[in-house]
Amino acid sequence: MSTETLSSEIEGAQTKLVSALGDDGRWRGGCRSRLFESGLTLHLFRRLNVQGAAPRKLAAYCREALAAPAPRWQGALERDLARLIATSALGLPVTSEQADRVKAALGGLEHHSRKRKHDFFLALLAELVPQVSWSPARAFDPGPYAHQWITLIATSLRLLAADDADKAVPAAELTKAQGPDGSWQCHVPATVIALLALSTQDRNNPAVRSGLAFLVAQQRADGGLPFIADEDTWVTGLTTLTLLDSGLPPTLLAGAARYLADQQLPSGGWGYSETVDQSDIDDTAVITLALSRVPGHERAAERGAWHLLSLQNDDGGFPTFVRGAPSEVEITAKCLRTLGAFTGTASAVARGWRWLAGKQRPDGGFSHEWSRSPAFPVLHVLRAAADLPPGYPEQVVSEIRGGCLRFLRDTAGSGGGWRYHRDESEVSLMVTSHAVAALGSLPDPPVELIEEALPWLSEQGPAVADPDSLGPRPFVYDVPILARVYRLAALTSAHQVLAGTEARYSGFSLERA
């Protein structure tokens, strides 16, 4: 692909994204239906005898999903658990083979939160699929570093298990935590479980009616329910930063910047949606960096950076939600990129790089966390390295870069492009976008590898745009606009390499007078 064609592809991608910006300054990404949430909600509707079009459409969605092959991106746990719950919700027979597959998948969970998830799913299955004999669930313990969704789910499970005399306190806690839109933190599973719990005490509770109205409002055109109502704050922050990286003038993104600044929480952080008051480092790092590049938003950016610094763990890494929770690679890398744009952060950034160096695998890659793309954490590590100011731990960073390049070379397909798994036949638009953007962040990028991948990134290219986002991990959810955003990031990075141009941002100070 010539640089002229590449420029045309970039301009087209920019134009389409800018034209999708709402008058209120946000991008609406949407979130597609998923069988897990749809089966949960159908259980709730049937338990509460909800009538009308919503439960009929939802049942039809579940039947159609069960009749079709499971999406190829689903792992065994998501596939088997969602199908089991939907089968039971429809009143269809649950076979012992179905139950055994779910039990085996639960036993194979691999994540630092696996015990908590294992206990949660067992408690949920005992409630929703009581015809199967499940192992007795241990008391669900959210742990000392739980974020709000986990705390809400723990309270809901406590209410479900409580005797009538002990229901008042957890019921009051749940009711108090309900948002003005009727949801619990914009999170469909947490909302369904809260409503299942509250309805055991009083089905006519106004909180139950409000929550049901929220769920009906989230029903998609296909009849199903999504994982979350939206993640528009995240989508707007990511799209704004990507367009700035692509060379779009900040003046054209003033409306988006105002919207983002208005969503800043009292802590200085951001949540993924306007109805979410649990901040996370992912949103905060990306939005802070974006606002630092738009004149007039320096104070909001400074508050965001201070919030990030307050959450750094003792090991030097950064968690996603709460200080003290396990540090995560892609989250730490995003923080380091953002904090590197501010002076007065050298010690924190150096500690973060030392932590990252200890997490790199022998093959040069890193564990995935919030994306199933193997190139996603590598992308953010290399982006942070590209923006590293002089005087930081350059030898550590140089060694990390070398491992990342080796990993991307080893995982590239023979015809260009990257896949989620080596044994897959189809090239992934998302993984290829992540990999090309990562390679373009190297000081001496492999031009031939980037050129081989470019046909897969053209607007009419043959790469498959399967979703990559994870939540709750390891379940995959689909926000379609993200593929367009990451594609633009890759095209921009490739153009900088092939045209030999690169923009740098000078940053501003966090040092106190």
Task: Give a yes or no: residue 42 inside a domain.
Answer: yes
CA distance 272 to 233: 5
Domain range for 122: 33-226
Single residue among 208, 226, 244 that ends a domain in this structure: 226
Task: Identify the CATH number of the domain in which residue 282 sits.
Answer: 1.50.10.20
163 and 305 co-located in one domain: no
Secondary structure E strands in 14-128: none
Task: Give a yes or no: residue 237 inside a domain.
Answer: yes
212 and 260 co-located in one domain: no
367 and 422 co-located in one domain: yes
Task: Give a yes or no: residue 268 inside a domain.
Answer: yes
295 and 363 co-located in one domain: yes
Task: Give a yes or no: residue 512 inside a domain.
Answer: no
**pTM: predicted TM-score of the whole model, two decimal places:** 0.96
Task: Give a yes or no: residue 182 inside a domain.
Answer: yes
CB-based contacts of 449, cutoff 8 Å, min separation 6: 408, 409, 412, 416, 439
Task: Give a yes or no: residue 363 inside a domain.
Answer: yes
The structural domain count of the chain equals 2
What is the distance in angstroms between the CA of the first residue and the CA of the last residue of the chain?
A: 51
19 and 72 co-located in one domain: no
116 and 90 co-located in one domain: yes
pLDDT by residue for the chain (513 residues), tens digit each?
Answer: 888 999 999 999 999 999 999 999 999 999 999 999 999 999 999 999 999 999 999 999 999 999 999 999 999 999 999 999 999 999 999 999 999 999 999 999 887 788 889 989 999 999 999 999 998 766 677 888 899 999 999 999 999 999 999 999 999 999 999 999 999 999 999 999 999 999 999 999 999 999 999 999 999 999 999 999 999 999 999 999 999 999 999 999 999 999 999 999 999 999 999 999 999 999 999 999 999 999 999 999 999 999 999 999 999 999 999 999 999 999 999 999 999 999 999 999 999 999 999 999 999 999 989 999 999 999 999 999 999 887 777 899 999 999 999 999 999 999 899 999 988 999 999 999 999 999 999 999 999 999 999 999 998 889 999 999 999 999 999 999 999 999 999 999 999 999 885 443 334 545 432
CA distance 175 to 182: 10
- Render the burial of 419-432: b for 16+ CB within 10 Å, e for the rest: bbeeeeeebbbbbb
Task: Give a yes or no: residue 505 inside a domain.
Answer: no
Single residue among 182, 199, 226 that ends a domain in this structure: 226
Single residue among 202, 226, 250 that ends a domain in this structure: 226
Task: Give a yes or no: residue 504 inside a domain.
Answer: no
314 and 455 co-located in one domain: yes
46 and 9 co-located in one domain: no
123 and 161 co-located in one domain: yes
428 and 475 co-located in one domain: yes
39 and 22 co-located in one domain: no
420 and 457 co-located in one domain: yes
